[in-house]
Amino acid sequence: MKELPEEIKATYILAVVIMMLFVGFIIFVVLMYNRKQLLYFKEKQLKEAEYQNQLLQKELEKQKLIEKERERISHDMHDDLGAGISALKLHSEFLKQKVNDDDLQNDIDELLKTSEEMNISMREMLWSLNSGNDTLERFIDYAIIYSGNFLKKTKIVLKSECIDIISDTPISTELRRNLFLCLKEAVNNIYKHSRADTLKLSFYQDRNIFIMKISDNGTGIPEECHKGNGLRNMKRRMSDIEGKCEITPEDPGTSLTFEVVL
């Protein structure tokens, strides 16, 4: 077999070297392009993260302003409205001591009753406005205290239980207020209609699911009352916060279950 001439060999080697350099150049260009693209995407991600951080900062500032305004309204209500209601109640009590007319005394009693109801409503509003109460622990404590105070002059015994509750779990003001109004309606209905002697509050947490169950050992809810305003209002409130309200007959009594995603 003949060997290739030296000139052809040199040309062949040169062609191979040129081809390898060309391939190396292509690989280099591709690597540089990929690196540039990677740097571009990283820069874009950093800008996006910075933009999101700015949005978050603005939202946090907005939330702080809202909380500050809530606190201001709360303090103003406590100082002005609270003082006014207390003064009204005090003057009514003095006036009652001075009059002898039975009809007038009855009117004053109604005035005292109204002022006490206004005072209770104001305390509920102050609790609602206070951002320091936006945890499950605070909500559950207040729900139990409210129910206990409501039932203390009745023959109904209050029981309560908490299962797997993480105390510092945050709960929004909207959820907290709607759940409380449902509890208030339920406790009032049990007192008025159930003829129960025991009311049990149960609170459960499963990750981000919160369940409040209100049970009694009364006569149950008649079928015709299932469409009453009280139950309809509770279901509407739970629907507004994308929650569920279920009524379960028991033997004896009834259970109302409220479930929300925190």
- Of 66-80, 155-169, 207-221, 241-255, the poorest mean pLDDT is in 66-80
For range 169-194, the mean pLDDT = 90
For range 29-38, the mean pLDDT = 84
Residues ≥6 apart with Cβ < 8 Å to 78: 122, 126
pLDDT at position 122 is: 76
Domain ranges of the chain: 1-131, 134-262
Share of residues in the chain with pLDDT > 70 (%) = 89
Distance from C-alpha of 254 to C-alpha of 256, rounded to nearest angstrom: 7
By the 8 A CB rule, do 197 and 217 touch? Answer: yes
pLDDT at position 95 is: 76
Which tops the pLDDT comparison, 188 or 80? 188
- Give 59: exposed, middle or buried? Use CB within 10 Å, 0-12, 13-18, 19+: exposed
The answer on pLDDT for 30 being more than 70 is yes
Question: Closest Cα partner for 195 from 146, 245, 238, 252?
Answer: 252
- Of 4-13, 105-114, 152-161, the poorest mean pLDDT is in 4-13
The answer on pLDDT for 212 being more than 80 is yes
pTM over 0.85: no
Token pair belonging to 50: 């910075």
88-125 pLDDT, tens digit per residue, is 777 777 777 777 777 777 877 887 788 777 777 777 77
Which tops the pLDDT comparison, 222 or 101? 101
Confidence class for position 222, pLDDT limits 50, 70, 90: low
The answer on pLDDT for 223 being more than 80 is no
H or E stretch at 256: strand 254-261
For range 241-245, the mean pLDDT = 92
Q: What spatial distance separates the first Cα and last Cα of the chain, rounded to whole Å?
A: 86
Q: Phi and psi for 125 in degrees, rounded to 5?
A: -65, -40
Tell me the sheet residues that pair with 162: 203
For range 131-150, the mean pLDDT = 90
Classify residue 11 as left (phi > 0), alpha (psi -120 to 50) or beta. alpha
Distances (CA, A) of 40 to 36, 46, 53, 185, 206: 6, 10, 20, 59, 43
Coil, strand or helix at 220? coil
Coil, strand or helix at 181? helix
How far is Cα of residue 224 from the mean position of the Cα atoms in its chain? 32
Question: Where does 134-262 sit in CATH, by number?
Answer: 3.30.565.10
Confidence class for position 13, pLDDT limits 50, 70, 90: confident
